[in-house]
Amino acid sequence: MRLRVARSIAVLMAVVMAGIIVHGQDSECEDSYAEKITQLLEDRDWEGIISAAGQAQISCEAASGEYLYRITINTGTNIRDAAGIPSNIVGKAEQGVDYEVFSVTVGSQYTWLEIFYDGETAFVAESLTTRLPDYMLVEGGQAISILGTQCHAWHTTQRHRRISINVAFYDNSDDRIHAEIYKPGATTPVPVYSSDYSAPTEATYQRYSQWWSEGVYTLELEAKNAGFKTVMGFAIDGTKTNFLGINCPS
């Protein structure tokens, strides 16, 4: 009798939890379980409901922490259940899908990124991914803080006969910030053509000798001794000189 009562209570709690997940879903994790649990409720599959509701609670609590950054994964890349090879392949990356990265594990052969895939924690090799911008620098818009520093970055333009990009460092004498620019879809940074100091503006200009096409570019900013990067996107169009300003107040 006690076992039957205890089981009835367990089923009731599972149904309540399932109802919360189905009707109050507020994350990708809960959404991934909602359809499955809805079908189980319709089938009155109490064993299945207990199992699915428990899996959802564990998985969604694990995935509820703040992510580090977002990525895309090369289409067809293996997604695994552990950070290493050999490990089980749980799926393959789909085109046009963004993933959130929750941790980074450096292995002997590969660096592995922890993501959330199909309702479960999973891993993918970093070399097969592309990091998405943390922020977008809007032309003439508000300056954005650079993580781990007191520095800010912004994007302005001037009319010119051809597109060019210059990075201006203000009060960065101790090299607190290292900057690299990537063209759309590129994996190697654009080389710096020259670097010079301007007394009137009290800024060091990092210049690039390139022909630029329209599109969304990436500015990677690495804070000295911080151990991580801030990635910003910025769009260039038309015939303009683009200035990316970086100010690090003393």
Per-residue model confidence (pLDDT) at position 5: 37
Instruction: For 60-82, write each residue's pLDDT tens digit.
Output: 544 455 778 888 898 889 999 99
- Amino acid letter, 49: I
Select from 131, 160, 183 the last residue of a domain. 131
Do 147 and 124 belong together in one domain?
no
Structure tokens at 122: 């999973």
Token pair for 185: 């879809």
Query: What pLDDT score does 214 carry?
Result: 82
Same-domain check for residues 51 and 37: yes
Asked whether the beta carbons of 146 and 172 are under 8 A apart, the reply is: no
Q: What is the pLDDT of residues 13-28, one digit of tens each?
A: 444 444 444 444 445 5
Top-confidence residue, 141 or 65: 141
Q: Is residue 32 over pLDDT 60?
A: no
pLDDT on residue 7: 41
Do 125 and 141 share a domain, yes or no? no
pTM score of the predicted model: 0.60
Residue 112's contacts (CB-CB under 8 Å, 6 or more residues apart) are 83, 84, 104, 105, 106, 123, 124, 125, 126
Q: Which domain holds residue 31?
A: 2-62
pLDDT given at position 92:
92
Distance of CA 99 to the CA centre of its chain: 7
Tell me, what amino acid is at 116? F
Residues 146 and 205 in one domain: yes
Q: State whether 97 and 171 are in the same domain.
A: no
| Counted domains in the chain | 3
